[in-house]
Amino acid sequence: MVTAKGLAKAAKNVLLAPLKAGLTFVAGGVRLLLYATLILVLLGSVLFGHMIWHASHPLENPKYKGLTYWQLLKWETMITDQQTTAWNRAHPNLNPSSWQTCVSGDVIVATLGYLATAQYYLTHWPGSIAAYFDAVEEKWESLPISYYSPRASAEPCVYHYIPTPEELPTLEAEYNTWKASQAERP
């Protein structure tokens, strides 16, 4: 027998069915988005961790003479500071801001280049995880992470000499001495 209470319950279920379906669909979409975000964060963490690990090992490209990427950045920072100071003193009326991005530009190029390379090889899988990391490392080291030129240039962002790891402590000591002398100059 049909009662008013039963009809009200049936009407309520019919009216709320699209809302329940919509909420279920939205909840499923949110769950999918959270899983996708989690996977991307984990993948990004692995790739970024590998980049940090790789940057602490000697670069295999012969032009870097066995320096790690961190040593190369330290040297670039020192030489850029010296070259920009000399350039700014020689050109007091020009804006020095264009030279302030030499080293930070290298870091950005290296990081974005590494991540772009890693993404490329994810879509063009080389066959194994070891082959994947080898391909990424090989491609990353061929990026122009340092504007090295054996010829002389007046531009502070172009480096004419890359030291060996053994020369770096001596050059760092010379740089620190130079930096101290610059603090005394007006």
Q: Is residue 56 over pLDDT 60?
A: yes
Averaged pLDDT of the chain:
76
Helices 4-55 and 129-141 cross at an angle (nearest 10°) of: 60
Report whether pLDDT(151) > 50: no
Count of CB atoms within 10 A of residue 102's CB? 22
Query: Are the C-beta atoms of residues 182 and 85 closer than 8 Å to each other?
Result: yes
Helix or strand holding residue 81 (H, E): helix 69-90
Mean pLDDT confidence for 94-98: 62
pLDDT greater than 80 at residue 40: yes
Reported confidence tier of residue 74, pLDDT bands at 50, 70, 90: confident
Q: Give residue 34's pLDDT.
A: 95
DSSP three-state, residue 58:
strand
Q: How far apart are CA 7 and CA 29, in angstroms?
A: 33
The pTM of this model reads 0.60
Band of residue 149 on the pLDDT scale cut at 50, 70, 90: very low
pLDDT at site 73: 80
Average pLDDT of the residues in 79-103: 70
**pLDDT above 70: residue 158:** no
- Per-domain residue ranges of the chain: 1-42, 56-184
Residue 69 clears pLDDT 70, i.e. is over it: yes
Higher pLDDT pick, 1 / 31? 31
